[in-house]
Amino acid sequence: MTTNTTSKSPEAAAVPPSGPAPVTKRVPQGHKRLLTRRDRITLGFMAGVPTVLHVALVWVTALASIALAFTSWDGIGFDSIKWVGLDNFKQLFTDNPQFWPAVEHNVIWFVVLILIPTPFGLFLAVQLDKKIRFSRLYQTAFFLPVVVSLAVTGFVWQLVYNPDTGLINSLIGANKP
């Protein structure tokens, strides 16, 4: 018969052992991806295609235009491009009588567009923000042309002005047989 000399009392079992906590090795489970491979490919196409088109059609052409400003080219064939440096600009500033009046008109337009529409637009925005009668109607009248697509606006006007079935001709009775 064997006797258990290492039996513990219930009080001893409730006391944690002294010393440093045992080190447990944490098994990496990997991180879950929020986007699947298909989602990433779709997102790449949705962001990549417009970006490539924008860069090709806007930035490359703009930079090519800047580069061509320093050349002499008749527009036919790339082999006829000749580098002239700043001669084009020298000729533009000195020999072209239309250049400086055009610059003056552009500056006038710029100043007028800065001084009139911007403060007037801010004034209207402040007025529309106030609690005045029919403010929602005014807001709709101001912002509807901005919100509605130009194509939809054109389609609506086509319906209004149609000579056979248009709204105006129907109202005045011009399209009756």
Span 80-91, pLDDT tens digits = 899 999 999 999
Count of domains observed in the chain: 3
Q: 86 and 46 share a domain? A: yes
For residue 43, being part of any structural domain is answered with: yes
For residue 16, being part of any structural domain is answered with: no
More confident call, 44 vs 128 = 44
Contact between residue 122 and residue 130 where contact means Cβ atoms under 8 Å apart: no
Q: 119 and 139 share a domain? A: no
- Domain residues for 79? 37-96
Q: 167 and 124 share a domain? A: no
For residue 18, being part of any structural domain is answered with: no
Q: 88 and 41 share a domain? A: yes
pTM strictly above 0.75: no
For residue 17, being part of any structural domain is answered with: no
Residue 66 has pLDDT above 90, yes or no: yes
Q: 117 and 144 share a domain? A: no
DSSP line for the chain: ----TT---HHHHHSPPSSSPPP-PPPP--PPPSS-HHHHHHHHHHHHHHHHHHIIIIIHHHHHHHHHTTEE--SS-GGG-EE-TTHHHHHHHHT-TTHHHHHHHHHHHHHHHHHTHHHHHHHHHHHHHS--TTHHHHHHHHHHHHHS-HHHHHHHHHHHH-TTT-HHHHHHTTT--
For residue 22, being part of any structural domain is answered with: no
Q: 110 and 149 share a domain? A: no
Q: 76 and 107 share a domain? A: no
Residue 76 has pLDDT above 80, yes or no: yes
12-64 residue pLDDT tens: 555 666 666 666 666 556 666 788 999 999 999 999 999 999 999 999 999 99
Q: Which of 96, 118, 147 is the last residue of a domain?
A: 96
